[in-house]
A = this chain, B = another copy of it.
Amino acid sequence: MLIVKKFGGTSVANKDRIFNVAGRIREEYKKGNEVVVVLSAMGKQTDALLDMAKEINPSASKRELDMLLVTGEQISVALMAMALDTLGVPAVSLNAYQVAMHTTSVYGNARLKRIDPERIQNELESKRVVIITGFQGVNKFDDYTTLGRGGSDTTAVALAAALHADACEIYTDVDGVFTADPRIVSKARKLDEITYDEMLELASLGAGVLHNRSVEMAKKFGVQLVVRSSLNNSEGTIVKEVVKMEKMLVSGVACDKNTARVSVVGLEDQPGVAFKLFNLLANHNINVDIILQSIGRDGTKDISFTIKEDDLEEAVNILESHREGSLKCQKIDTEREVAKVSIVGAGMMANSGIASKMFEALYDVGINIKMISTSEIRVTVLIDETQVEKAMNAVHDKFLFAM
Contacts and interface: CB of A to CB of B under 8 A. Distances in A.
A119 interface: yes
A45 to B, nearest CB: 10
A75 B98 contact: no
Contacts of A75: 49, 52, 68, 71
A119 B74 CA distance: 23
A255 to B, nearest CB: 38
Interface in A73-91: 74-75, 77-79, 81-83, 85-86
Interface in A82-113: 82-83, 85-86, 92-93, 95, 97-98
Contacts of A98: 142-143
Interface string A14-46: 010011000000000000000000000000000
Contact of A82 (B19, B60, B70, B78): B60
Nearest to A79: B56
Contacts of A49: 75
B77 A57 contact: no
Contact of A83 (B18, B57, B97): B57
A57 B80 CA distance: 10
Interface residues of A, number: 36
Nearest to A67: B78
Contact of A18 (B56, B60, B61, B74): B56
A27 to B, nearest CB: 19
Contact of A15 (B55, B61, B74): B55
Q: Please indicate which of the listed interface residues A56, A70, A86, A92 has the most CB atoms of chain B within 10 Å of its own CB.
A: A56
Contact of A67 (B52, B64, B70, B81): B81
Given A63-B92, A97-B97, A142-B119, A68 B57 contact: no
B85 A15 contact: no
Contacts of A71: 71, 74-75
A70 B93 CA distance: 13
A178 B27 CA distance: 59
A174 interface: no
B52 A64 contact: no
Contact of A86 (B19, B57, B86): B57
A68 B70 CA distance: 12
A124 interface: no
A2 interface: no
A85 B63 CA distance: 12
Given A98-B143, A142-B119, A56 B82 contact: yes
Given A64-B81, A67-B77, A56 B119 contact: no
A85 B64 contact: yes
A253 B57 CA distance: 45
A255 B92 CA distance: 43
Contacts of A67: 74, 77-78, 81, 93, 95
Interface of A: 15, 18-19, 49, 52-53, 55-57, 60-61, 63-65, 67-68, 70-71, 74-75, 77-79, 81-83, 85-86, 92-93, 95, 97-98, 119, 142-143
